[in-house]
Structure 1
């Protein structure tokens, strides 16, 4: 379990570094700033933001696709969510995207809309930083193609499942998404706090990293000659290594499915599967994973969510603007705040998301008729989920 957490953190930090570089690339590049201004143009007219609260429906014709409690405050809240996610990324050097979907749901946004909007926000940021991928030099075309074939199938399956659950019962959809986040954030929270206390005790540096030695499972899979075979890591071992594209596609399908269900980039599962499962070097894994995010997030957000009305463009742009600001603040924070305190903030952010989604579950189960809640218990659940006082 410790190795799994370490691998997640390594991937998370690689993704965070990409986000930080993308942020600075956008801020310093006049052409990209112009593109961002055009994309955010509807947000510059306050009347448009306020008028959005009166729209009768979204693409697809169902007003139920909208947030549960949409108001102009929801938009301003999305900017705050972006700032917090960017602050985590810039200050801690670990991806803060895992807090976005739970935070949007706390604003009253339905789970499926939060997932679709988060994926679109990732895609918008990715396409603006595409030049960085050319500079990385670690993207393996063969691995990327095989991975994307699988991720396309996984994203389609995840999107179909999310839509089917929502169309059957929106409460079940929120319950499933919240339950998955409770498990994920609970796992991360335990190890984040143990990592913080271990760092304080040892006063040491960073213990996270990826193995370059061939894992046992990777050696077995690479010994299987199943066409098509892909050659990679020539820069690591003489003559390189070979792996079946089928295994890479399976990893892509798993990543795409989880990314489509949770609204994240998927790097937290790509890294352990590639490095610990397939025996691919960390450099090749990081480069290929960041490259695939553009296509996975783009295909998922548009084909599985946007065309069905599950992407809220206003909130996506609010998060994008907020994250650019948050990353700048976070980068400055690292110069004045001790590393141990930053790790504590990271652990608390995970814990906040965990508690928020955990206390959302009783209310969802009550709405479905599985349990009954007293008025006081229901009010407490709502306050912890949405952050307001029930009358």
Structure 2
């Protein structure tokens, strides 16, 4: 399990490095900044000038259970959430995207709308910033194509599941998404906390980025030995003659990643990395570039075909998160130069666990509404409220700490 966690962190670091490059490319280009302003201006003007009651009250097509209201407050909250996610990604080099969907749901956005909006935010950032940068690794076109064939199919399946659950019962949809995040954030949070405590005990300075994973051998060797056309050759630059594996296995991995990504509202990189390394036997070098490429296409296809055309993307939220994350990731990356890595890792573990508690405490009220859990409505709502407070207090403390460190160390950063 520890090796698997190490690979998940390596995947998050690769994604964070890409996000930082995207942020640099947008902020350093006057043309791209003007495009961003043009995209965000309508959202800003409308959210500030129009009251929620003057707009259609229900977004997303369900009158019985509205996904969100169109208010200035929601737009401001989306910027703050993007800022928080960017700070975590920039500081840790990992995992800031994991908190976006839970944070949006805590702010009152219904799960399916949060998922669709987060996917669109990832896609918008990608197409504005850059494609795959050469520094991110070697892209294998054949692996990417086979993987995308599977992932796009998986995206359709994941989108169908989310929309079907929402049509059956919108509360069931929220419960399903929250339960998935409880499992994911619980796993990541407790392992990150354990990692932090071990580093603190050793008191070795705690490299915030940690060590990279080793390429897998066992299962991957068996799969590479199966002659099932079409066969794909990869890693030619690292292994004489390259390695070979069936495109069917690559497509199956892609289908699983696409399915999960469409349900959770993430790019899927945290699953692609361990699958490439441990299941398919692809080198970490080739995995990085190919993974970033699939995130762009997977997020774009999922957001447009599975959510946008059905009304499950909140444009104002996406623009707010994009603006906030661009600023946050820059501040976070600069702060790592003047802060000991072990402290940042401790805050990261705490923030992930706060997200875990938040979604865990949100489950009772959902289960009570569906009459599955026999509990007082007042108690269930109180638990959800305290879960929201805990989450936003923790991430706010982290954000204030990072911003304070950045401001107080501006002279040092200028010298560097």
Q: Same fold (TM over 0.5)?
A: yes
SS class of match (2:8): helix
| Match runs of 1:353-368 below 5 Å | 353-368=355-370
Cα shift at 1:38: 1.5
Q: Contact 2:52–2:69 (CA<8 Å) still a contact in 1?
A: no
- Separation (CA, whole Å) in 1 of partners of 2:61 and 2:178: 26
Map of 2:353 onto structure 1:
351
SS class of match (1:297): helix
Deviations 1:159-197 (A, max 9, x none): 000000000000100000000000000000110001101
SS class of match (1:45): helix
Q: Contact 2:18–2:136 (CA<8 Å) still a contact in 1?
A: no
Deviations 1:124-143 (A, max 9, x none): 01111224435545111000
SS class of match (2:133): helix
- Separation (CA, whole Å) in 2 of partners of 1:21 and 1:144: 21
1:209 equivalent in alignment to 2:215: no
Map of 1:143 onto structure 2:
143
What number of residue pairs does the alignment pair up? 387
Q: Contact 1:150–1:252 (CA<8 Å) still a contact in 2?
A: yes
Cα shift at 1:49: 6.0
SS class of match (1:231): strand
Cα shift at 1:374: 2.5
- Separation (CA, whole Å) in 2 of partners of 1:7 and 1:284: 14
Q: Contact 1:139–1:288 (CA<8 Å) still a contact in 2?
A: yes
1:377 equivalent in alignment to 2:379: yes
Q: Contact 2:132–2:289 (CA<8 Å) still a contact in 1?
A: no
Q: 1:100 to 1:53 in 2, by over 3 A?
A: farther
Let me know the Cα RMSD of the aligned residues.
1.9
Cα shift at 1:47: 5.3
Cα shift at 1:334: 1.2
Using the TM superposition, name which of 52-61 and 357-366 deviates more. 52-61
Q: Contact 1:105–1:114 (CA<8 Å) still a contact in 2?
A: yes
Q: Contact 1:360–1:384 (CA<8 Å) still a contact in 2?
A: no
Q: Contact 1:65–1:113 (CA<8 Å) still a contact in 2?
A: no
Q: Contact 1:40–1:317 (CA<8 Å) still a contact in 2?
A: yes
- Separation (CA, whole Å) in 1 of partners of 2:211 and 2:49: 43
Map of 2:305 onto structure 1:
303
| Match runs of 1:221-232 below 5 Å | 221-232=223-234
Q: 1:60 to 1:368 in 2, by over 3 A?
A: closer
Map of 1:189 onto structure 2:
189
SS class of match (2:232): strand
Cα shift at 1:5: 0.5
- Separation (CA, whole Å) in 1 of partners of 2:380 and 2:213: 45
- Separation (CA, whole Å) in 1 of partners of 2:130 and 2:386: 39
Map of 2:252 onto structure 1:
250
1:262 equivalent in alignment to 2:264: yes
Map of 1:102 onto structure 2:
102
TM-score (norm 2): 0.89
| Unmatched 5+ stretches in structure 1 | none
Cα shift at 1:336: 2.6
Q: Contact 2:121–2:321 (CA<8 Å) still a contact in 1?
A: yes
Using the TM superposition, name which of 192-201 and 114-123 deviates more. 192-201
- Separation (CA, whole Å) in 2 of partners of 1:236 and 1:64: 57
Q: Contact 1:66–1:113 (CA<8 Å) still a contact in 2?
A: no
- Separation (CA, whole Å) in 2 of partners of 1:65 and 1:241: 52
- Separation (CA, whole Å) in 2 of partners of 1:62 and 1:48: 25
TM-score (norm 1): 0.94
